[in-house]
Amino acid sequence: DAGVTQSPTHLIKTRGQHVTLRCSPISGHKSVSWYQQVLGQGPQFIFQYYEKEERGRGNFPDRFSARQFPNYSSELNVNALLLGDSALYLCASSTITGGSWEQFFGPGTRLTVL
Amino acid sequence: GQQVMQIPQYQHVQEGEDFTTYCNSSTTLSNIQWYKQRPGGHPVFLIQLVKSGEVKKQKRLTFQFGEAKKNSSLHITATQTTDVGTYFCAAHSGGSNYKLTFGKGTLLTVNP
């Protein structure tokens, strides 16, 4: 079975630009979460979507937005990019059934803002 | 907001030595998870602990959840070079909030 896929793998943008990151969850998983991981730190929670509805939001500015599509894939959008947005953006899918909160992470998108 | 403190930040051991990382929260947790991230890779789920005082073992790895459900530990017996990576705890506070809070991780390096 295919794991979580993310695109693109790497991305270079300049300050002020907009970026869209994409994620496809494991087949059958209805929950998708987005995390930002800065080098040397743990993943920081950005959003969680379940059944196309936002179920959780981390402490990120309104420049960050996301959505989940009917096929459970998801997009993360970041507007007005800042240098500090440079990070690895991870998508994770899960089933959230039977009390298991196991997150299956994708390989991530490495975003560099110049 | 909820914070999860993890220590130590770094640990260097000789192959064959034991290793332990600790995770602490100021609030009671619904459950705690442990992940391993190899250099250049993504976090991979190791285990989830739910019950107070729970202890789970996976080969050389032993995971514990404190009685008060505010702390947890991961112990590796007789480390191997394949154990190299960053170990993260991640806490879920429960309820309808699906937010998972990660600790900063412990980077383990193993000298062969």
Q: Which domain holds residue B35?
A: 4-111
Q: What is the pLDDT of residue A48?
A: 92
Average pLDDT score over residue span A42-59: 92
Interface of A with B (CB under 8 A): 31, 33, 35, 40-45, 48, 50, 55-59, 90, 92, 96, 99-108
The pLDDT-based confidence of B96 (bands split at 50, 70, 90) is low
Rounded to an integer, what distance in angstroms lies between the CA atom of residue B51 and that of residue A113? Answer: 43
Binary contact (A50, B104; C-beta < 8 A) = no
When the pLDDT of each residue in chain A is averaged and rounded to a whole number, the result is 93
Q: Are A17 and A85 in contact (CB under 8 A)?
A: no
Domain formed by A5-113, architecture: Sandwich (2.60)
Helices (H) and strands (E) in chain B, counts: 0, 11
Rounded to an integer, what distance in angstroms lies between the CA atom of residue A26 and that of residue A8? Answer: 17
Residue B36, domain CATH = 2.60.40.10
Higher pLDDT among residues B35 and A2, named by residue: B35
Rounded to an integer, what distance in angstroms lies between the CA atom of residue A35 and that of residue B51? Answer: 26
Domains contained in chain B, number: 1
* Length of chain B measured in residues: 112
Question: Residue B73 burial by CB count (10 A; 0-12/13-18/19+): exposed, middle or buried?
Answer: middle
Q: Is the pLDDT confidence value at A18 over 80?
A: yes
Q: How many contacts, defined by CB atoms under 8 Å, are there between A and B? A: 64
Q: Rg (Cα) of chain A, in Å, rounded?
A: 13
Domain ranges across chain A = 5-113
